[in-house]
Structure 1
Amino acid sequence: MTKTDTSLQTQNPISSAQNAVENVHRAVSSALSHPTSQTLDQAQNAINKAEKAVDQATMHSDAQPAQEVAQALSDEEARLQDLQ
């Protein structure tokens, strides 16, 4: 029996960036509610990963969704900076 892909959504640069920014949102929210060195590090690591995903998305498209996800990441970075 062969293994089949069970994903319902095809990943593309925009959806990957959106998912990465959602992860950043969760990590930043966690750092804001429980500010420890671990949660701050996790938030920064999530931001670093999301920056790469957003770069890929904007490299492939200048469309509004790419700009929106880049703005969302910027907003999350600002939330984390407010804590630091």
Structure 2
Amino acid sequence: MPRYDSSLQSQNPISQAQNSVESVHNAVTQAQSHPTQVTVEQARHSIEHAEAAIAQAADSEYQEPLQQAAESLEQDKQALQEAEQNLQS
């Protein structure tokens, strides 16, 4: 039986960056709602992955969606810093 890719979005560098940023958002939300060392570390790892994906897509002709992803990533990084501060206090 043939196997079909169930993804409706092609996995080009832009979509990979967008997907990575969405994963960051989910990880940061988890760290905010359940601030533990583990959830914060998972969010940090997701951020590193998303930063690499954005860097890989930097030479793409589609800069607007990439810029939006980068801005969203920056917001999530700030939110993670707040979650880390709450964990430490």
TM-score by length of 1: 0.87
| Deviation for aligned residue 1:34 | 0.5
* Greater CA drift, 50-59 or 38-47: 50-59
| Deviation for aligned residue 1:8 | 2.7
Equivalent in the alignment of 2:87: none
SS of residue paired to 2:38: helix
Over the matched positions of the two proteins, sequence identity in percent amounts to 46
CA RMSD of aligned residues (A): 1.6
Deviations 1:28-75 (A, max 9, x none): 000011011100110000001000011112232462111111111111
Equivalent in the alignment of 1:74: 74
Structure 1 alignment gaps of length 5 or more? none
Count of aligned pairs between the two proteins: 84
TM-score by length of 2: 0.82
Equivalent in the alignment of 1:39: 39
Structure 2 alignment gaps of length 5 or more? 85-89
SS of residue paired to 1:11: coil
